[in-house]
Chains A and B, each alone.
Chain A
């Protein structure tokens, strides 16, 4: 039974697609043989710096840094799911029905979310899809290049003599190959918790029937009812309330994640592009044997063309088993709910008072 799926992806591109702040200049200047930078109008790509030592001409040991370009996990996840995430509209976030319709969506089930809501239980879901950052394994040496742009005359530059053209510097790179590692937790992906006492409310359980209907429409098959489940091997002796997706539904979510990763393609107008060129997976049934470092067992599912045949005959471990609760157990859960469930906090009497407090804390 497959408990999780390890992912190894190769991403190729040119230039930089993920930028950091110009605070990085202090690290940049500690590199060897690069143009030093003392200005603030510089853009640097995200990267990791590693210390290296060498001998100077007098034979003394000197330490300098070398930079390895990266694409952050947040950037990759954003690019994978941006077409399905339109949630930041207040009209959606403040309306339970709309928010429910939004989260009852495979993209949200896969990626996870958190909606902190005033005076209501926070809706949150931890993603079953975890990745690190894409690290450059081959790339040309980075350099700073000067660019120009045109800006309106504002503030100090309002005078007629001031030029409208502004110069700035940006880090540039040539062709780069990145490697990315990640994992899909099949068990957690297929379980949608509504348990307040486990602090894992994916959505309000009062809307369970609507949620099942909406998610079922998107997944193409009926979603099971809310029940109580035990996690296999868990030391907790309290069953968790939630929805367990069937193996076919979990497989469709897994396929969706892998397809999104295979389709990953960031194209910046000026600075560069990066896209997945190959994707391999490995099924984990024994975590001590099927490790990431072990070269055996990897299956390439994408190289110019996506081939999901490897997933056809795989059976996924559900990780959760349904349990029927007796009256005594239900009573215990209710008592936990009273102790640990959400409590409605009192509204401040005057809004103006709240504003004052906010201002005071800013002054501090």
Chain B
């Protein structure tokens, strides 16, 4: 078809592996606590966790979890690292995507070996876990510690039903006798409250009908400094505003990956850029290429573990 890339052959000649490609990775972040068990069924610890399946966003199901074991990780992560290293783009494991996989990469990933140098410790159930550190994350407003939801015109425009917002602007313009949106919302609210205009009472009633309690409070003279102080407004809990007030635990992994390759497979890596990313912010670089004519795979990989299948 015109304009489409010719699909490369995925049938690689399966020679003896005569090379070991050694990759080193650092700073690969894993957010460890991502599921909980309820009545014997695994559930997302995050109520908003969804898997995009075509056009639908579905809750993640039990078979869409990967139990990360310490000391190794699932081959699918290495599969995507290899895809990037050979010049392709990563393919989602669980989400439906419009792209087809080059299956040969999966075979290469399954035979990879991993050595993780990060420290492990025991949790309260005596299970091995990676040491965690704290990071600042951006979180949705209702899931953060942020008090910074100052009432403003933009925020009300975003939160209120369109008809109510337009009515608010109209009444405010009329009472303030100027373009009210040029003034601070707090100031306008004071002017509206002091005007004792019956239209303001209507606005208050309508605001309460639309669950916009903070607006009602502002228009009835309450001094609130944030929307949270006065309860959520309208769709407050569904706000997708991200703020830098979240804190999370993250484990950072360092280590190396060994991939046994035939000469033909090794040549594929010349097409890429020589680097990839792994998990959250992890940097993967090509460290070495070991010729197996002069050493054995067992000697090099004695400290490595197999990937999780």
Contacts and interface: CB of A to CB of B under 8 A. Distances in A.
Interface string B52-74: 10111100000000000000000
Given A65-B119, A74-B135, A233-B88, A95 B154 contact: yes
Contacts of B306: none
Interface stretch (A145-153, A273-281, A348-356): A348-356
Given A336-B98, A339-B55, 11 more contacts: A4-B275, A48-B119, A51-B119, A118-B239, A183-B285, A230-B4, A237-B100, A287-B286, A288-B289, A324-B2, A329-B1
A70 to B, nearest CB: 9
Contacts of A342: 55
Given A73-B27, A239-B3, A288 B266 contact: yes
B273 A187 contact: yes
Interface stretch (A129-137, A159-167, A262-270): A129-137
Given A23-B132, A27-B131, A329-B4, A93 B241 contact: yes
A83 to B, nearest CB: 16
Contact of B97 (A23, A186, A328, A340): A340
Given A185-B273, A347-B235, A354-B235, A231 B87 contact: yes
Nearest to A337: B98
A130 B283 contact: yes
A48 B253 CA distance: 10
Contacts of A357: 47
Interface string B272-295: 111101000101011111000000
B35 interface: no
Contacts of A32: none
A316 to B, nearest CB: 11
Interface of B: 1-5, 7-8, 10, 26-27, 38, 47, 52, 54-57, 85-89, 96-102, 117-119, 121, 131-136, 140, 142, 149, 152, 154-155, 157-158, 211, 232, 234-244, 252, 254, 266, 269-275, 277, 281, 283, 285-289
A21 B133 CA distance: 7
A186 B272 CA distance: 12
A233 B87 contact: yes
A182 B254 CA distance: 14
Interface stretch (A102-110, A253-261, A290-298, A307-315): A290-298
A94 B275 contact: no
A230 B5 contact: yes
Contact of A288 (B38, B56, B269): B269
A196 B269 CA distance: 28
B1 A332 contact: yes
Contact of A235 (B88, B135, B274): B88
B142 A358 contact: yes
A291 B237 contact: no
B135 to A, nearest CB: 6
A358 B211 CA distance: 16
B240 A340 contact: no
A288 to B, nearest CB: 6
B4 A238 contact: yes
Given A115-B242, A355-B232, A288 B3 contact: no
Given A234-B5, A235-B8, A91 B154 contact: yes
Place the interface of chain A in its size category: 35 or more
Contacts of A116: 140, 240, 242
13 contacts: A24-B133, A73-B283, A90-B149, A94-B155, A118-B235, A131-B283, A181-B283, A185-B273, A234-B88, A238-B98, A238-B99, A288-B274, A291-B285
B242 A351 contact: no
A57 interface: no
B106 to A, nearest CB: 12
Contacts of A182: 283
Contact of B240 (A117, A185, A238, A293): A117
Given A118-B239, A130-B275, A339-B55, A231 B89 contact: yes
A90 B154 contact: yes
Nearest to B268: A233
A90 B241 contact: yes
Contacts of A339: 54-55, 98
Contacts of A286: 270
Nearest to A287: B274
Interface in A9-54: 20-21, 23-24, 26-27, 46, 48-51
A186 B275 CA distance: 12
A291 B274 contact: yes
Given A116-B242, A183-B283, A231-B87, A293 B134 contact: no
Contacts of B241: 90, 93-94
A4 B288 contact: no
A183 B99 CA distance: 27
B191 to A, nearest CB: 21
Contacts of A20: 133-134
A51 B119 CA distance: 8
Contacts of B140: 116
A186 B273 CA distance: 9
A25 B231 CA distance: 38
A329 B211 contact: no
Closest 6 CB pairs of A and B: A287-B274, A233-B87, A326-B2, A323-B3, A233-B271, A21-B134
B288 A237 contact: no
Nearest to B46: A361
Nearest to B276: A130
Contacts of B118: 48
Contacts of B289: 288
Nearest to B233: A351
A94 B8 contact: no
Contact of A343 (B4, B55, B134, B136): B55
B237 A72 contact: no
A216 interface: no
B55 A340 contact: yes
B135 A72 contact: yes
A6 B24 CA distance: 14
Contacts of A324: 2-3
Contact of A133 (B26, B234, B236, B240): B26
Nearest to A230: B5
